[in-house]
């Protein structure tokens, strides 16, 4: 069964939105997979997603309020089939953190959206609600693309 870990910096904005979007898309398709999210930093460990992220997801019918931030662990590189970074900095950090026996495939989230390969998901942290809508649109498109790719495996 595919298992996906989404990773951003603090695990309270982009990666929980991506987790929620993929969970919703998998449920819509009746596709079983394991989905989680984490941060490369530990500043927000144990915290719920940012309230703006929660409101944005809920507007789209997805409740992410029960998610809690955590930091990536070395075990994640063996536990998950795919570890997907939301931006280049976190992808670089993941490559540095990966143990030699890592089995996870690393990628950027927007690599799974035709025409958006190599791009970072918009970071809404310093903006207003509109920025979270932009991020939602990006992670939702990526969730559709990723689910289609995983089902084809």
- pLDDT tens by residue, 53-112: 999 999 999 999 999 999 999 999 999 999 999 999 999 999 999 999 999 999 999 999
pLDDT, one tens digit per residue, over 103-126 is 999 999 999 999 999 999 999 999
Q: Is 8 known to be catalytic?
A: yes
Is 13 known to be catalytic?
no
Rounded distance between C-alpha atoms, residue 47 and residue 68, angstroms: 5
Tell me the percentage of the chain whose pLDDT exceeds 90: 96
Catalytic: which of 68, 79, 123, 137?
Answer: 123
Domain residue limits at 53: 3-151
* CATH number of the domain to which 82 belongs: 3.40.50.2300
Let me know if 135 is exposed, middle or buried by CB neighbors in 10 A (0-12, 13-18, 19+): buried
Order of all β-strands in the sheet with 82-85? 34-39, 3-8, 82-85, 105-108
> What is the count of structural domains for the chain?
1
pLDDT score for 152: 86
Q: Which member of 13, 14, 23, 111 is catalytic? A: 14
Give yes or no: 116 in active site: no
Prediction pTM value: 0.97
């Amino acid at each position: 069964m595919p298992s996906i870990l989404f990773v951003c910096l603090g695990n309270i904005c982009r990666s929980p939105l991506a987790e929620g979007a993929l969970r919703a898309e998998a449920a819509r398709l009746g596709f079983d997979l394991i989905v989680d999210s984490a941060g490369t930093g530990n500043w927000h460990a144990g915290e719920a997603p940012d309230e703006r992220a929660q409101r944005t997801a809920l507007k789209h019918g997805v409740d992410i309020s029960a998610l809690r931030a955590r930091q990536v662990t070395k075990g994640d590189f063996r536990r998950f089939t795919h570890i997907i970074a939301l931006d280049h900095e976190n992808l670089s950090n993941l490559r540095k953190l990966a143990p030699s026996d890592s089995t996870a495939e690393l990628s950027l989230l927007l690599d799974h959206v035709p025409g958006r390969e190599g791009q970072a998901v918009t970071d809404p942290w310093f903006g207003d609600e509109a920025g979270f809508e932009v991020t939602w649109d990006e992670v939702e498109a990526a969730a559709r693309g990723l689910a289609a790719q995983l089902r084809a495996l």
